[in-house]
């Protein structure tokens, strides 16, 4: 078939050489071949994609295009309440049966863990194992029940009311007060303000079942629903299930119109000041008017979105640049143009205020925007933006077959709710390559002027506390803003920079020993400078390479007077850049390369955590930044001054929120006010901060790589990475240094210790219980303790929440640790109301007693095992898990091969084993109980305009 052959070659050659055909910007971007999108006769939309990451799993979603915005006056909060009740009784599952069933197949669950309610949507999420047909069948039954089979009977509703009130309680505090005060202005009186998903407490307390049923009947209907299935499942089977379960749904006879709430743009500039002494820090926000811009899903709107994302990136870079000087106008700032709801776009700029307060910050923000409007961006900036966008999409494209189903599900959800295009990653890469080169500086400038218009009315918000100085008035804000907009500005200066951070070291190190571990797929190297390296290439995620190292030492080696300098050493040195390059220079030089490198000290260890893409440039840049963190510490007095200013603000805002005060008291109670406890700096710490001392502390640990084993995991080739390993890791300096940590006395208090902390004005409490003491450390013991913790968490949900209605959510956590001495710490943190604290403590101890006496039930233990069975194979396919595991087993000298037998050990665990662990560690003569109670009510908030 010579002709056909020629035609194909010719077509390929043409595609490669001809300039890209101009896109029809008005045309809609077609749905890509990766997904099947269909619609049933009743109007229900569905999306199906086969995706084998993770294996034997599928992500199911029921997306209902209805939320709190549609509630009638007597239904405020009921959209959310229905979402809870969907887990509490439906056509095929009686109360608690659904949650229990999901747990039995390994799905951790509970309302809100698996669903959420927004103003415009309610989304149910169901991750399911697909290896067995009956699990798949039941999963679709669950989805169908949610869609039209929720029982909503009066008893279940009454049981759910206190749980939802506890959820509402969790949101109380300064954040909520700020939102409630400012939202009416921000949304300009829109219905969005009147219909927050959590609704009204009065309605939640008293709403009759009829009101819930009315919402369910009106809005849970097929023409407002989508079913999404992405995962390791045959598409034909998924489609068959969707048809079987959803084709029978009908729309109500007299449909109510699904309307959308409007937001009107500001008519005139305005300012609002809100102060509250529980707000941890002061800030200002400039809000620009909303624009009605629903996404038409066309090539043109896609191009516009790319342009806006470039504008955001470049404006933010300029704002960051302003913080990198001795007296920055603000601590941090960010700007963003984007969607407010599915149909409205708007831009805002926000700054966290420094010691100078409002005026310099507002001036700097307005002037920076004015500079953009007047002079625009430079070609160099645009080119950096292009590189970054292209690099990100290239990674997504490379990683397509190793991308988790959850990510695809999110895209289809956005398509259904907001019309976002879904061309598939291959087409998107093509589009990006076609569109990016054609975007000009003029395009960016026009988009910036549209997003941040000079003369449009805007809303200026000031929020903060009055601890240090009084807040400005609204009139002062407006006056300062008007002056700032008028002030003359000059063009942004862009300095020329090197292409690379450094040359590759001329004389690389050598590999002096090499060993292979075929069981775990490891290559172990010893380099000529004594540094050890473990290489584990994996197929788990394309374009991802992780690098880590850990050794004993850390902050424990610092003298008491140096703790502060040791604690800030990593952050301080990291924020000064490397060698001759400021941090901003570094960002510009490495623009478009996927590289992150963190070097720092924990309590007992020195740690390195880095990652990069798998491309040669990315990898080499990661090694260079790492190498320079050993050899190129940069000292910058101006950046140090900026850092000290920031630290002073942190100190000033310390212990402002009730939670901060609680956790500070908790740390002091557990560890007896030990100065080595990680805590927010205090006034007396500031005097101890010293630039040179801090750099010295850093150099004491990171001028040498001695004793470090570097672990590399991910998408790389062993032969190809060896030259980089030799050149960079093999040339790190390795002079002697101490390689053991010190026990500085961070031991949990013994005996029964109880403390009550009074903080905060809202009726909110927190109960913390900590059991701790010496333990025999071993991997199997650590696993048994983890199983005990999992069992306790099942009871927190089943008993404290579902049975007793004492909490919305709480958590038990902890484990067995080796440092500074082998011991265990198991703690529970349980948020509740002040009037429920006593009952909660009694109930928690009753569960502890019960587990000590009887162990878990067989059913509970089976649920814990089922969850491990589903999650553990996924962890074994995760680069991050392997990095942590190899670093940990190397540090503690245990066998890394244990990962291969861990599940066998777990399967053998019995009820008696877990009971024995509970008896060993839940010692009622030895625990610390700290309770947060509110202060006597005082009025702390005020709004002024």
| Contacts with Zn ion, residue ranges (CB under 5 A) | 112, 167
CB of 116 to Zn ion, least distance (A): 8
Burial of residue 807, with CB atoms counted within 10 A of its CB: 0-12 exposed, 13-18 middle, 19 or more buried: buried
CB of 172 to Zn ion, least distance (A): 15
Beta strands in 602-715 (DSSP E): 605-612, 709-714
CA distance 800 to 37: 42
CB of 171 to Zn ion, least distance (A): 10
CB of 807 to Zn ion, least distance (A): 13
C-beta separation of 536 from 882 below 8 A: yes
Which neighbouring-strand residues pair with 545?
612, 714
CB of 78 to Zn ion, least distance (A): 12
Of 167 and 428, which has the nearer Cβ to Zn ion?
167
C-beta separation of 410 from 396 below 8 A: no
CB of 108 to Zn ion, least distance (A): 16
The alpha-helical segments, DSSP class H, found in 195-262 are 201-206, 209-219, 235-246
- The rounded Cα 598 to chain-centroid distance in angstroms is 18
Of 112 and 923, which has the nearer Cβ to Zn ion?
112
Of 167 and 618, which has the nearer Cβ to Zn ion?
167
- Residue 813 is inside which H or E element, if any? strand 811-817
CB of 330 to Zn ion, least distance (A): 36
CB of 204 to Zn ion, least distance (A): 11
> φ, ψ for residue 292 (rounded to 5)?
-80, 105
CB of 84 to Zn ion, least distance (A): 6
Of 123 and 308, which has the nearer Cβ to Zn ion?
123
Residues in the chain: 945
- Residue 892 is inside which H or E element, if any? helix 879-892
CA distance 485 to 671: 52
Of 123 and 769, which has the nearer Cβ to Zn ion?
123
- Nearest residue to 538 via CA among 296, 738, 793, 717: 717
Of 115 and 708, which has the nearer Cβ to Zn ion?
115
Of 167 and 381, which has the nearer Cβ to Zn ion?
167
- For CA atoms 848, 850, 854, 858, the dihedral sign is negative
The residue number with the shortest CB distance to Zn ion is 112
Of 87 and 630, which has the nearer Cβ to Zn ion?
87
CB-CB neighbours of 612 under 10 Å: 27
CB of 795 to Zn ion, least distance (A): 20
Residue 549 token pair:
């190292």
Task: Determine how β-strand 605-612 pairs with β-strand 522-527.
Answer: unpaired
Of 646 and 801, which has the nearer Cβ to Zn ion?
801
Of 75 and 309, which has the nearer Cβ to Zn ion?
75
CB of 161 to Zn ion, least distance (A): 12
CB burial of 674-696 (b: ≥16 within 10 Å; e: otherwise) equals: eebbebebeeebeeebebebbbe
Residues ≥6 apart with Cβ < 8 Å to 493: none
Of 167 and 790, which has the nearer Cβ to Zn ion?
167
- For CA atoms 348, 351, 357, 363, the dihedral sign is negative
CA distance 79 to 67: 6
Of 737 and 804, which has the nearer Cβ to Zn ion?
804
Of 120 and 167, which has the nearer Cβ to Zn ion?
167
CB burial of 285-305 (b: ≥16 within 10 Å; e: otherwise) equals: bbbbbbbeeebebbbbbbbbb
Decide: helix, strand or coil at residue 297: coil
CA distance 572 to 642: 10
């Amino acid at each position: 078939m010579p002709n056909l052959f020629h035609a194909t070659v010719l077509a390929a050659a043409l595609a490669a050489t001809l300039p890209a055909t101009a896109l029809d910007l008005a045309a809609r971007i077609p749905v890509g071949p990766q997904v099947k999108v269909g619609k049933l006769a009743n109007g229900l939309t569905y999306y199906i994609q086969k995706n084998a990451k993770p294996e034997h799993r599928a992500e199911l979603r029921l997306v209902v295009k209805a939320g709190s915005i549609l509630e009638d006056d007597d239904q405020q909060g009921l959209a959310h309440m229905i979402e809870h009740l969907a887990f509490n009784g439906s056509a095929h599952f009686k109360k608690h049966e659904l949650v229990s069933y999901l747990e039995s197949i390994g799905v951790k669950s509970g309302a809100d863990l698996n669903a959420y309610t927004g103003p415009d949507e309610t989304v149910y999420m169901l991750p399911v194992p697909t290896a067995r047909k009956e699990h798949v069948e039941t999963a679709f039954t669950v989805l169908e029940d949610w869609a039209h089979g929720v029982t909503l009977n009066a008893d279940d509703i009454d049981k759910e009311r206190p749980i939802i009130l506890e959820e509402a309680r969790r949101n109380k505090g300064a954040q909520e007060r700020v939102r409630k005060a400012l939202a009416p202005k921000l949304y300009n009186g829109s219905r969005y303000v009147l219909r927050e998903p959590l609704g009204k407490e009065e309605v939640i307390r008293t709403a009759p079942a009829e009101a819930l049923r009315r919402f369910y009947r009106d809005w849970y209907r097929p023409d407002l629903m989508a079913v999404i299935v992405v995962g390791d499942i045959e598409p034909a089977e998924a489609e068959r299930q969707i048809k079987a379960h959803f084709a029978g749904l009908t729309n109500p006879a007299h449909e109510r119109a699904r309307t959308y709430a409007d937001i009107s743009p500001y008519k005139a500039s305005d300012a609002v000041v809100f102060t509250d002494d529980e707000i941890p820090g002061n800030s200002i926000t400039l809000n620009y008017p909303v624009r009605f811009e629903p996404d038409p899903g066309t090539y043109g709107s896609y191009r516009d979105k790319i342009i806006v994302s470039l504008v955001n990136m470049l404006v933010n870079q300029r704002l960051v640049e302003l913080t990198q000087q001795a007296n920055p106008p603000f601590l941090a700032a960010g700007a963003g143009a984007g969607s407010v709801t599915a149909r409205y776009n708007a831009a805002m700029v926000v700054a966290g205020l420094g010691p100078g307060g409002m005026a310099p910050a507002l001036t700097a923000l307005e002037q920076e925007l004015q500079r953009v409007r007047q002079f625009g961006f430079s070609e160099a900036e645009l080119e950096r933006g292009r590189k970054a966008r292209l690099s990100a999409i290239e990674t997504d494209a490379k990683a397509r077959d190793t991308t988790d189903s959850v990510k695809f599900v999110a895209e289809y959800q956005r398509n259904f709710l907001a019309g976002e295009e879904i061309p598939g990653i291959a087409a998107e890469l093509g589009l990006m390559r076609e569109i990016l080169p054609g975007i000009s500086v003029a395009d960016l400038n026009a988009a910036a002027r549209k997003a941040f218009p000079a003369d449009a009315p805007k809303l200026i918000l000031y929020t903060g506390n009055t601890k240090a100085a009084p807040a400005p008035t609204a009139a002062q804000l407006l006056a300062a803003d008007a002056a700032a907009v008028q002030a003359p500005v000059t063009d942004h200066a862009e300095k020329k920079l090197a292409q690379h951070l450094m040359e590759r070291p001329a004389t690389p190190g050598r590999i002096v020993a090499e060993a292979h571990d075929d069981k775990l797929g490891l290559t172990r190297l010893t380099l000529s400078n004594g540094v050890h390296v473990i290489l584990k290439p994996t197929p788990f995620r394309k374009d991802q390479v992780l690098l880590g190292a850990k050794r004993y030492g850390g902050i424990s080696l610092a003298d008491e007077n140096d703790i502060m300098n040791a604690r800030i050493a990593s952050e301080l040195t990291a924020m000064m850049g490397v060698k001759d390059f400021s941090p901003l220079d570094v960002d510009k030089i490495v623009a478009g390369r996927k590289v992150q490198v963190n070097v720092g000290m924990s309590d007992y260890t020195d740690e390195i955590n880095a990652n990069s893409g798998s491309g040669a440039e990315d990898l080499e840049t990661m090694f260079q930044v790492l190498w320079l963190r050993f050899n190129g510490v940069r000292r910058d007095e101006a950046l140090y001054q900026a850092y000290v200013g920031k630290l002073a603000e942190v100190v000033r805002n310390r212990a402002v929120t009730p939670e901060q005060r609680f956790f500070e008291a908790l740390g002091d109670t557990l560890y007896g006010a030990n100065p080595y406890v990680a805590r927010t700096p205090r006034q007396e710490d500031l005097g101890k901060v010293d630039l040179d001392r801090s750099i010295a502390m850093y150099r004491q640990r990171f001028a040498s790589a001695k004793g470090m084993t570097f672990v590399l995991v991910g998408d790389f080739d062993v032969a190809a990475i060896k030259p980089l390993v030799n050149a960079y890791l093999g040339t790190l300096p390795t002079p002697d240094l101490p390689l053991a940590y010190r026990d500085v006395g961070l031991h949990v208090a013994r005996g029964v210790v109880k403390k009550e902390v009074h903080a905060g004005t809202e009726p909110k409490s927190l109960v913390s219980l900590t059991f701790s003491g010496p333990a025999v450390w071993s991997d199997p013991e650590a696993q048994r303790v983890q199983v005990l913790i999992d069992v306790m968490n099942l009871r927190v949900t089943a008993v404290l929440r579902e049975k007793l209605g004492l909490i919305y959510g709480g958590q038990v956590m902890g484990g067995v640790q080796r440092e500074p001495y082998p011991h265990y710490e198991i703690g529970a943190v349980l948020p509740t109301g002040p009037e429920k604290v006593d009952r909660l403590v009694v109930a928690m101890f009753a569960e502890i007693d019960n587990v000590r006496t009887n162990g878990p039930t067989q059913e509970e233990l089976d649920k814990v095992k089922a969850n491990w069975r589903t999650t553990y194979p996924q962890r074994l396919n995760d680069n991050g898990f392997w990095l942590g595991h190899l670093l940990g087993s190397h540090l503690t000298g245990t066998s890394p091969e244990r990962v291969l037998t861990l599940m066998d050990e777990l399967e053998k665990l019995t009820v008696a084993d877990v009971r024995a662990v509970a008896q060993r560690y839940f010692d009622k003569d030895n625990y610390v109980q700290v309770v947060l109670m509110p202060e006597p009510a005082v009025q702390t908030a005020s709004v002024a305009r």
